[in-house]
Amino acid sequence: MASKSAAILRRALLYVPASSPKFLQKSRTLTVDTIAYDLEDSVTPTLKPEARQNITSFLSQKRPSSITELSVRINAVSSGLALDDLRTVLPSPNLDALVIPKVNRASDLYFVTDVLKHTLPERHSPSSPNPIKIIALIESAESVMNLNEICKASPYLSGLIFAAEDFALDLSLTRTPSLTEFLYARSAIATAARAHSLPSTIDLVCTSYRGPEGQKTLEEESLQGKGLGFNGKQCIHPSQVEIVQRTFAPGVGEVEWAVRVVIGDEKAEAGGRGAWTLDGKMIDAPVVGKAKATVKRAELCGIDIEAVRERWKDQEPE
């Protein structure tokens, strides 16, 4: 069964090429939820052995306190390079997760799961509190059609990522500013992840982000993805991280409404009431559930929920 760890926060997943010692060291200064040190697309075939050694050395150093999750994107299982990647990086003490590209079918994750269990049996026993997590990249029509099987393929699966450029290549699509050509795939991914209780759904890369117009596009894309059910976004440059993490955190108004609902519901329940209203809107179980989830996510994002609760402590159910 897939991981149900709701405490995982991956608002921004930033790719850093493992072939560059300069970029690896620079990443230590960043504040970001997840970094995926890349052994795949950003590394040429001749540099892959060197990149493996770079990331192994890097992950054996003191853990950066401002990066929540350290992950490595290995090469696709179908490439024939994945096993060498895994053998090299899995012993790294600070490795939290693996990003697996081109997951077209469940067998891709069966392979990775078997290697995890064989290489690190203690860390991947049923009672282990901290197994290495798997995040799967959905990049093709085949993978979208196989989402149900993929989501059930590993007990360590912790999220799905939509790779728009590869998906566009597979379907001979042209990416447009509206992104409507990706609506079906994005909706399918977000829905499948929720159906299988996967904590992370990470949206497509924003390819234009420099300057005011680029930043505006990045924010608009992030809001659109959030509206489709994604709770994070891939980043290809450190300058994207702040906007993405701010956008995928609950806003001030969103948090205040959620706290008011939670406080009102606590009082309604104590008074034996079921449905009630707030500001003229009916509040029932689904609304309360969403409010509680918003409060939980706000806490993970470092928002002072106790201060908000104090401001609204006198909220009553109407």
Give catalytic residues, as residue numbers: 284
DSSP result, the chain: -----TT---SEEEEEETT-HHHHHHHTT--EEEEEEESSTTS-GGGHHHHHHHHHHHHTSPPPTTEEEEEEE---GGGT-HHHHHHHHTT-TT--EEEE----SHHHHHHHHHHHHHH-TTTTSTT-S-PPEEEEEE-SHHHHHTHHHHHTS-TTEEEEEE-HHHHHHHHT----TT-GGGHHHHHHHHHHHHHTT-SEEEEPPPS--SHHHHHHHHHHHHHHHHHHT--EEEESSGGGHHHHHHHTSPPHHHHHHHHHHHHHHHHHHHTT--SEEETTEEE-HHHHHHHHHHHHHHHHTT--HHHHHHHTTT----
Q: What is the token pair recorded at 202?
A: 């990470």
- Is residue 6's pLDDT more than 80? no
pTM for this model (two decimals) = 0.91
CA angle 122, 124, 125 (to 5 degrees): 70
Mean pLDDT in residue range 217-226: 97
The pLDDT, as a whole number, for residue 90 is 97
The pLDDT, as a whole number, for residue 137 is 98
The pLDDT, as a whole number, for residue 187 is 98
Local confidence band at 209 (pLDDT 50, 70, 90 cut-offs) = confident
Residues 43-58: tens digit of each pLDDT: 999 999 999 999 999 9
Local confidence band at 275 (pLDDT 50, 70, 90 cut-offs) = confident
Residues 181-206: tens digit of each pLDDT: 999 999 999 999 999 999 999 999 99
Mean pLDDT in residue range 226-231: 96
Which of 167-171, 227-231, 284-288 comes out lowest in average pLDDT? 284-288
The pLDDT, as a whole number, for residue 305 is 95
Residues 152-185: tens digit of each pLDDT: 999 999 999 999 999 999 999 999 999 999 999 9
